[in-house]
Amino acid sequence: MAPESKAGTAPAEVGPIGQLPSDRIVEAARLVRKGRTYSLAATRFPGMPLFPGHPPFQVLNFRTPRGIRVSHAEPWGPVNDAGLGYMAEYLMATSHSGAHLDALAHMTVGEDSHWYGGGRADAHLSDAGPVFGDASKLPAFFTRGVLLDAPRYRGVDCLPKGSPIDAAEMEAICAAQGVRVQPWDVVLIRTGYMGLWPDAAKMAEHKTAGPDVSAARWLRDRGVVATGTDTETYEVQPAPELGSPANPQPVHTLLLIENGIYLMESLDLESLARDRVYEFLFVALPLKIRGATASMVDPLAVI
């Protein structure tokens, strides 16, 4: 296991963003000129569309004013002449519900089921989830963000189902939008998929467009610390290049497992695209939950 920092978290559990220079934070703050914010998350609700490998999102009542009265509960003791009540609920959901950030321990590869930074299932996977690179180690994000709008570049509303975005197209989109991806950036890639939210039938007709492995290499080579798309899988599926040995998610493997570059999925990028906002301050504050493999987030783009 990698050595721990003074804060108690091994650098390998945080990834490259843990070395984000302070001057880049200051530069990112200077991108705010209008004081306008864009939420990059859609509302979560029971029955919401999710990647089929995840459990459904549920909101279940635990306490209600009527329930307190009928059950003669006394949460504050026996004196309640005012009839005070309250509501509280269980959230039963995967941390990968809606807009979310994958922890470094989310994806594994190889017979030893290893993940970024030296995590291995035999050594670091407990009955309560991973203990190395889990969501409790997720950092805050306050850095420059860039939007690459693939549908606008192609002149369509939404990319076709399973359509790959390759490195050459990433470069061409940057040129068309007049932006340049720089080290320490967070790059968000729009396919138009969330423009169909939450119509599951229409969304199914456009599922799993996204970056291919050449685009992943392009992002890695430019030194980004995180990247996200508006789909449930981030990368194009099925993968055009499985490699050898065959890997159904080579982009996750290259970015998350091999390089510690965080991935975000199901981001709502429609408002940014509508206003043609291609450069902004990106802010995301993940929930630090021990043993979780992701965090639901409500990121902000600020201009």
**What CA–CA distance (Å, rounded) separates 266 from 269?**
9
Please give the C-alpha separations between residue 271 and each of 158, 195, 210, in angstroms, as whole numbers. 14, 9, 19
- Residue 51 located in a structural domain: no
- Residue 1 located in a structural domain: no
pLDDT at 1: 37
Contact of 273 with 149, CB cutoff 8 Å = yes
The answer on 122 and 84 residing in a single domain is: no
Residue type, 204: A
- Residue 162 located in a structural domain: yes
Contact of 47 with 274, CB cutoff 8 Å = no
Q: Which domain holds residue 111?
A: 11-44+95-302
How many CB atoms sit inside 10 A of residue 248's CB? 11
DSSP conformation letters of 225-278: SEEEESSSSSS-SS-S--TTTT-S-HHHIIIIIHH--EEEES---HHHHHTT--
Kindly report the backbone phi and psi dihedral angles of residue 213, in degrees, each rounded to the nearest multiple of 5, phi listed first: -70, -25
The answer on 75 and 179 residing in a single domain is: no
The answer on 278 and 169 residing in a single domain is: yes
Q: Averaged in consecutive runs of 10 residues, what is the pLDDT profile of the chain (303 residues)? A: 48 94 98 98 96 94 96 94 96 97 98 97 98 97 98 98 98 98 98 97 96 98 98 97 95 98 98 98 98 98 98
Strand partners, 295: 101
The answer on 171 and 77 residing in a single domain is: no
Do the strands 186-190 and 226-229 form a parallel or antiparallel pair, or are they unpaired? parallel
pLDDT at 65: 96
- Residue 46 structure tokens: 């029971």
pLDDT at 6: 37
- Residue 161 located in a structural domain: yes
**What CA–CA distance (Å, rounded) separates 120 from 109?**
10
pLDDT at 11: 83
Range list of H helices, the chain: 22-29, 65-71, 121-124, 150-154, 167-177, 200-204, 213-221, 250-252, 258-259, 270-274
Do the strands 141-149 and 186-190 form a parallel or antiparallel pair, or are they unpaired? parallel
The answer on 283 and 253 residing in a single domain is: yes
